[in-house]
Copies of this chain bind each other. A is one copy, B any other.
Amino acid sequence: MAQLLRVQNFNVSSDGYGAGEGQSLQRPFGHADPREIFAWAGATASWPNRTEPGGTRGLDDHLVRDFHHNIGAEIMGRNKFGPQRGPWENHDWLGWWGDEPPFHTPVFVLTHHERPSFTLSDTTFHFVGGDLAAVLKRAKEAAQGKDVRLGGGATTIRAFLDADLVDTLHVAVAQPELGAGSRLWESPDELRDRFHVDVVPSPSGVTHHLFWRK
């Protein structure tokens, strides 16, 4: 079975932005409100950050619980890892996720600036630069036969799409507009020349777009 590069549960606004402008420590998604972006996922029984029992077990839950399914590594952009730009001033920043990051696999963070790998619980972060195909090759080796998740943000997904390295994408399109920020697409129809797509409206209000390579 071939190893795939999969985008899972990536959220964009109705106008195609994965995050707003002005990312900072206090606002990981810039001017976008993450509660709005993640509301559909947070309502499900399988949402990993759920603190109380309950939650829905319908369509949205099936997509949320697929997040870890047969995934052996993640690749993410540096802006998903943290708000810093340029060379690392120090190595104090360990990501947004506290002592128990939700990945549970090796994670490859794209950056031009070297930094030693480190491990938190069962997630190890590696910092890698250079050619995207080479990064993917390294992530597939680390995934030991399983698929690799492409975690975002939008700029990173766009770069892998432009290099024609993405096999499947699940993008949840929310109703709010963002107007500016990090953009995945002007329209999902841009991908139709290379991908099949199922467009599936959810009762929760988001519309799931499920793409797979032609």
Q: Which residues of A contact B (CB under 8 A)?
A: 2, 45, 53, 56-59, 61-63, 65-66, 69-70, 167-168, 196-198, 200, 202-203, 208, 210, 212
Looking at the assembled complex, report how far the CB atom of A170 sits from the nearest CB atom of chain B, in whole angstroms: 8
B59 A200 Cβ-Cβ under 8 A: yes
Give the Cβ gap from A161 to chain B, nearest Cβ, in Å.
16
CB distance from A172 to the nearest CB of B (A): 13
Besides A61-B212, A65-B66, 8 more A-B contacts (Cβ < 8 Å) are: A2-B53, A57-B167, A58-B196, A58-B198, A59-B208, A65-B70, A66-B66, A66-B69
Q: Which residues of B contact A66 (CB under 8 A)?
A: 62, 65-66, 69
Interface pairs (27), CB distance under 8 Å: A2-B53, A45-B212, A56-B196, A56-B212, A57-B168, A57-B196, A57-B212, A58-B197, A58-B198, A58-B200, A58-B210, A58-B212, A59-B198, A59-B200, A59-B208, A61-B212, A62-B63, A62-B66, A62-B210, A65-B66, A65-B69, A66-B66, A66-B69, A69-B69, A198-B202, A200-B200, A200-B202
Chain B residue nearest in CB terms to A203 = B198
Least CB distance, A39 to chain B, in whole angstroms: 16
